[in-house]
Each structure stands twice: as structure tokens, then as C-alpha cells.
Amino acid sequence: MRKSNVDRSGRHRVYIEISNKNWFLPPQICELTQSLNVAIHYIGYGHPNIRGGKGTSWAKEHQIKIYAEDFENIGFYITHKNEALAELIEYNKVNFGRRQAICNGTINKSKIKVSHPSETHEKLPVEINGKHFNSYKEICRCLGCYKQRD
């Protein structure tokens, strides 16, 4: 958590970073946070369709992004982190009106991403290897999103 972790409008977020090797943890953490009524703003998977880039620069960690005021329900065990979180929460509450809604599993991304040559890379798990994605929620579906299970 730091002041530079903002969205395009300047709203502060907390990032949870997960090793790129653990593809199934982001949807599991999402399910856990939503059971606590904490909405996830975005999951930045380390996938070529999400991060792009040349070579394997896309194969970085996965980032779960949660608005500071939503993360208040979870908080930090470390006092100085909670104090910093409180400042970011106050800023967001003063400058932004509504909270993030809990994800319902609906994929409503209209931007079509171009194919990336690494869509069939060995760093991708079998469940998503060789598939093209236009949004992170499409990846969530393949990795077992509890809102999108058949």
C-alpha cells in the first residue's frame, strides 16, 4: 500500500501481489474477500493479454487491487500500515462517492485485445494455455471463479 497505487481518477488502492506461479490463488482470494463484503477492483494477472510486452515481461506477479475504503474491513496487523490506510481511506471517502460493487461474475468488457505470441507459453497453466482473453474476468472463469461456475 502506497500513495502511488491509484487508479486513473486518483483513487487509492491496496495491492496484493501473488507469485506468477500461483495462478489459482487470485480467484480464491477474490472469493474470500467477497465473503467478507470486500470488493476487488481489478485482478492484474501476469498474462500476455493483460500485461502485454515483449519476451516474458508480462510474466510478473499477479496483482489484486482493492480500493482503500473497501480494504478497511480487512485492515493490517501492523499499526503504521493501518494508520497510512486510514489516511488513504479518508481521502477516497472525501473525493469519491460510491464504493466498488461486489463482482457478480458478469464479463462486460467491450475492448478486444490483439493476439499475443505468448498465449501458448510454458509459463501459462494448462487451463489457460493457448486461449485468448479480452478481460481478467475471462481468466478468472477458466481458473474456477465461484461466480462463474457452471
Using CB atoms within 10 Å of the CB of residue 54, give its burial: 0 to 12 exposed, 13 to 18 middle, 19+ buried: exposed
How confident is the model at residue 2, as a pLDDT? 79
Question: What are the helix (H) ranges across the chain?
Answer: 25-35, 48-51, 68-71, 79-95, 136-142
For residue 87, the number of C-alpha atoms closer than 13 Å in the C-beta half-sphere is: 8
How confident is the model at residue 150, as a pLDDT? 61
Using CB atoms within 10 Å of the CB of residue 88, give its burial: 0 to 12 exposed, 13 to 18 middle, 19+ buried: buried
Q: Is the pTM of this model over 0.75?
A: yes
Q: What is the DSSP letter of 117?
A: G
What residue ranges do the domains of the chain occupy?
13-142
Q: Rounded CA gap, 98 and 91, in Å?
A: 13
Judge contact between 13 and 130, C-beta under 8 A: no
- Enumerate helices (H) and strands (E) in the chain, giving the number of each: 5, 3
Strand, coil or helix: what is 14?
strand
Per-position pLDDT tens, the chain of length 150: 777 899 999 999 999 999 999 999 999 999 999 999 999 999 999 999 998 888 889 998 999 999 999 999 899 999 999 999 999 999 999 999 888 899 998 888 778 999 999 999 999 999 999 999 999 999 999 999 988 876
